[in-house]
């Protein structure tokens, strides 16, 4: 039972570099989302998707892009990394955007120097 799989687990970037955080789920969930977790800030929603081909912005979308070409995959792209994007990133999925529990991956710890 894989659930939600995130890669990589750790990443160090230099300011200005770009990268893609991968997220895949095998539960046929329509809803997928990306959160960042910072000390003392809880989890903040970056982007979400209610199905293939449909994405929307969350609370803190600046500096990030997403796409959803398949039900299974929801990659998060950092266009030009900044030190403020140093964080732990979590991908989550659920059957729907409301009333269903979220299933989380184990996170990607990103450091931008």
Partner 1 sequence: SQQGEEDPQALSIQEGENATMNCSYKTSINNLQWYRQNSGRGLVHLILIRSNEREKHSGRLRVTLDTSKKSSSLLITASRAADTASYFCATDSTGANSKLTFGKGITLSVRP
Residues that bind partner 1 (CB under 8 A): 4, 33, 35, 40-45, 48, 56, 58-59, 90, 92, 97-99, 101-107
Closest approach, Cβ 74 to partner 1, in A, equals 15
Q: Which residue number, 33 or 85, has a Cβ lying nearer to partner 1? A: 33
Q: Establish how many alpha carbons lie within 13 A of residue 56's alpha carbon, considering only the half-sphere containing its beta carbon.
A: 8
Q: Which residue number, 48 or 64, has a Cβ lying nearer to partner 1? A: 48
Q: Which residue number, 17 or 30, has a Cβ lying nearer to partner 1? A: 30
Distance CA 64, CA 57 (A): 10
8 within 8 A of 19, measured Cβ to Cβ? no
Closest approach, Cβ 9 to partner 1, in A, equals 9
Closest approach, Cβ 42 to partner 1, in A, equals 4
Closest approach, Cβ 51 to partner 1, in A, equals 15
Query: Per the structure block, which two tokens stand in for 6?
Result: 């995130």
Query: Which residue, 91, 110, 109, is CA-closest to 13?
Result: 110
Distance CA 20, CA 95 (A): 24
Q: Which residue number, 14 or 42, has a Cβ lying nearer to partner 1? A: 42
3-state secondary structure at position 74: coil
């Amino acid at each position: 039972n894989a659930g939600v799989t995130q890669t990589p687990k750790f990443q160090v970037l230099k300011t200005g570099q770009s990268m893609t955080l991968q997220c895949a789920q095998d539960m046929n969930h329509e809803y997928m989302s990306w959160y960042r977790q910072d000390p003392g800030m809880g989890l903040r929603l970056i982007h979400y998707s209610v199905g293939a081909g449909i994405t929307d912005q969350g609370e803190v979308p600046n500096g990030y892009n997403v796409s959803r070409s398949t039900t299974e995959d929801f990659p998060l792209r950092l266009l030009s990394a900044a030190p403020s994007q140093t964080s732990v990133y979590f991908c989550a999925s659920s059957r729907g955007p409301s009333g269903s529990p979220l299933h989380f991956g184990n996170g990607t710890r990103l450091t931008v120097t």
